[in-house]
Amino acid sequence: MKYVGKKILTMCLTLLLVSFLVFLCFTVIPGDPALAKLGTEATPERVEALRKEMGLDRPFMVRYGDWLISFIQGDMGKSYSYSLPVKQMLADKVPITVTMSVMSILIIIFVSIPLGLYVAKREGGVADRVIYAVNQVIMAVPPFFAGILITLLFGIVLKLFMPGGYVSYTQSITGFLGYMIFPSIAIALPKISMTVKLLRSGLVGEKKKDYVRTAYSRGNNTKGVLYKHILKNAMLPVVTFLGMTFTDIIAGSIIVEQVFSIPGIGRILMTSISNRDYPVVMAVIVSLAATVIVINGLVDLIYQWIDPRIRLEEQS
């Protein structure tokens, strides 16, 4: 419990620092939300009046303190561009991006781990060399380009889905999930290749260690040694990578959403940055940062569950 409490405190302090730096960046970088809303032909008097109405004329620390207190209370502020509560604007966008991210990570796990085990068992064989070569190619393809190829092949040629024909989850859950499969695959493909390579290297390295020979000498068969001993140790770096991958997927989904015309967080974030709609941008970035911090904390806990030695080191 002491370790968990310390971890939660560190996470809160990290999130506080992130929010402060992001708020500071919006104050320093060029661009005026009032001018962006009124247009370049607005008179200085009108711009100044709108700045005062938005509260942009107040000192930095006062504005940050008010925003922080409101955010902690669940109030994300009001959009400069649409004059709507930010929470209301994001309410129907978050499930879209979260669904795509969760589907991507599930595809990565259920494809890469069995494939990594398969090639590790056939180290140096034909299958190992072929999959290694294919992995190198897929690994070099960015998700947005993979999305373009998937749209071309599965959408235009094979007509398995209609490019740009996004179906809202409020209209049809099955139609929504069916459309989200393709962008999820585009995001997952490079990560699958990296995970397979990392897991294969870990399994091959672990097979050469002394404890494996000891396990065989005790009468364990190959499958028992692989799944009870080798896999558990080889999964440690994979767990770390998957934790980093999930956070990277959330960030990478912003670009993929543009390729597949998905109205998720990515679209509203890009629009808000262009319009200098800082309350929306702040809410999105801080929420993403909170997600990253929580996932990293969960990865640390999973690490301790897989390897009890880490728990003992933390306690000591």
Last residue of a domain, one of 263, 286, 304: 263
Residue 3 pLDDT: 66
Could you tell me what percent of the chain has a pLDDT over 70?
Answer: 95
Co-location of 73 and 178 in the same domain? no
Residue 238 pLDDT: 86
Give pTM, 2 decimals: 0.81
**Which domain, by its residues, includes 50?**
1-89+266-316
Residue 148 pLDDT: 92
Mean pLDDT over the full length of the chain: 85
- Angle, alpha carbons 116-97-184 (nearest 5°): 35
Find the mean pLDDT for residues 150-177.
Answer: 91
Alpha carbon distance 251, 287 (integer Å)? 12
CATH classification of the domain holding 142: 1.10.3720.10
Amino acid at 72: I
Co-location of 69 and 131 in the same domain? no
How is 226-276 classified by DSSP, letter by letter?
IIIIIHHHHHHHHHHHHHHHHHHHHHHHHHHHHHTT--SHHHHHHHHHHTT
Tens digits of per-residue pLDDT, 9-40?
888 898 899 899 988 988 887 777 888 788 77
Residue 195 pLDDT: 92
Higher pLDDT, 26 or 69: 69
Tens digits of per-residue pLDDT, 180-228?
999 999 999 999 999 999 999 988 888 888 888 888 888 777 777 887 7
Last residue of a domain, one of 240, 263, 286: 263
| Tally of structural domains, the chain | 2
Alpha carbon distance 259, 35 (integer Å)? 30
Find the mean pLDDT for residues 235-246.
Answer: 81
Residue 273 pLDDT: 83
